[in-house]
Amino acid sequence: MMASASRLNLSNFHRPPPSTTIAELKPTFTPRTQPTKPTPDSDATPSGPEPRKLKPSPQLNRWSRARAIRSGRKLDRPVSRTKAWEMDPPARSPETEVLQSPPREREDDRELAPGKTIYMVSDGTGWTAEHSVNAALGQFDYCLVDRGCPVNTHLFSGIDDVERLLEIIKQAAKEGAMLVYTLADNSMAESARQACRLWGVPSTDILSPITEAISSHLGVSPSGLPRGAPGRNFPLSEEYFQRIEAIEFTIKQDDGALPQNLQKADIILAGVSRTGKTPLSIYLAQKGYKVANVPLVMGVALPKMLFEVDPEKVFGLTINPVVLQTIRRSRAKTLGFGDDLSSNYSGMDHVRKELEFASRIFAQNPAWPVIEVTGKAIEETAAVVLRLHQDRKNKCSMPRISKRY
């Protein structure tokens, strides 16, 4: 790989022109200096040569369709605008002048404006870049939810060639996109930095700063090879087989099955229906923990083994009743429940009674920590469970999740 601009021939690449905006695609018409006065039979077709139709531009149509797709709009929305490109402007009247005033056009442009674009480039799977960007975007959910600042992300994984990398950066420059990259090869990362600087693309290198810091801390140099690259072998370790065993165990123990095996579980989750026990169990199992989950249902006796195992293994899950009712209503509709079954499953009275029933069980077992899952992602709840689990297991003075490499 080449590490300098001269060797990469970056000087031969010209800065690509910025992308044409939707506002620039609108035809502009010069108003008549002496408008014709309306006559009694002004509705009749005026005599004279028929106005010549403008030939549509395939390039403009392609740009418009591409921008519509990137912004998430349906392609059939701007039909009237497309027709406007193909037709001569009609004779303007005072009413049309008011309708086509600049404030109305600016409002439409703001409504149909495409979102900002972020390109994510990786020489591996792109997992690190994608999750880093998602974590950062979480700080802007106050304007992402109502589309106040829409964002479009595009992931390019397995980019291990300089030419492909430069083509992506060139396209990012055309679209005015931001570039976020994780490139293990230092020469590739340097090529990205130089190209972004040359073409004016805002960029962020996620991997290099932390890799350099760890290299300095350990006193050794990084390999510079992405995961899965030739020369990097990952033998099937004991941890790999433990993770497979944990996943198999967790699937068999789902929804209170095989309660006699609760003693073998590393973590036991207890909660009412639709508190996220199953997805949380699978997520923890993928990290190598054997997880069992036990549903708390009114009128159904709990397995005796649940109260005989080490209480430090058990974690209770609870949720806001309004949120739980919303989730259950959606679930009941998906399953096709009738009105009677729905009222016994998603009715607010039933939901509150079940949560009170679960609260009484949690109160009778004070050693079980109760985690509020309302508004939390699976990853967030899992982080709380693992932090408490590790703290109890290792008797740490500071809560942490420890792992040895």
- 3-state secondary structure (DSSP) of residue 190: helix
Higher pLDDT, 42 or 351: 351
Q: Residue 88: what pLDDT?
A: 45
Q: How confident is the model at residue 83 (pLDDT cuts 50, 70, 90)?
A: very low
Mean pLDDT to the nearest integer, 37-42: 45
Q: Residue 341: what pLDDT?
A: 66
Mean pLDDT to the nearest integer, 191-198: 96
Q: Residue 38: what pLDDT?
A: 46
Q: How confident is the model at residue 359 (pLDDT cuts 50, 70, 90)?
A: very high
Mean pLDDT, the chain, rounded, equals 77
Other Cβ atoms within 10 Å of 63 Cβ, number = 17
Q: Residue 392: what pLDDT?
A: 82
Residue 122 in tokens: 């990786």
Q: Residue 201: what pLDDT?
A: 96
- 3-state secondary structure (DSSP) of residue 42: coil
- Percentage of the residues of the chain whose pLDDT score is greater than 90: 53
Q: Residue 255: what pLDDT?
A: 92
- Whether 402 has a pLDDT exceeding 60, the answer reads no
How confident is the model over 307-345, as pLDDT tens digits? 999 999 999 999 999 999 999 988 888 878 776 666 778
- Percentage of the residues of the chain whose pLDDT score is greater than 70: 66
Mean pLDDT to the nearest integer, 290-309: 94
Show Cβ contacts of residue 63 under 8 Å, excluding neighbours closer than 6 positions: 19, 20, 25
Q: Residue 171: what pLDDT?
A: 96
Alpha-carbon distance of 377 to 387, in angstroms, equals 16
Q: What is the dihedral of CA 38, 42, 48, 53, to 10 degrees?
A: 100
* CATH of segment(s) 238-394: 3.40.50
Domain limits, CATH 3.40.50, in the chain: 238-394
- 3-state secondary structure (DSSP) of residue 65: helix
Q: Residue 336: what pLDDT?
A: 80
- Whether 82 has a pLDDT exceeding 60, the answer reads no
What is the pTM assigned to this prediction?
0.61
Higher pLDDT, 281 or 299: 281
How confident is the model over 102-152, as pLDDT tens digits? 444 443 444 444 689 999 999 988 999 999 999 999 899 888 767 778 899
Show Cβ contacts of residue 284 under 8 Å, excluding neighbours closer than 6 positions: 250, 267, 291, 382, 385, 386
Q: Residue 207: what pLDDT?
A: 93
Show Cβ contacts of residue 15 under 8 Å, excluding neighbours closer than 6 positions: 173, 198, 199, 200
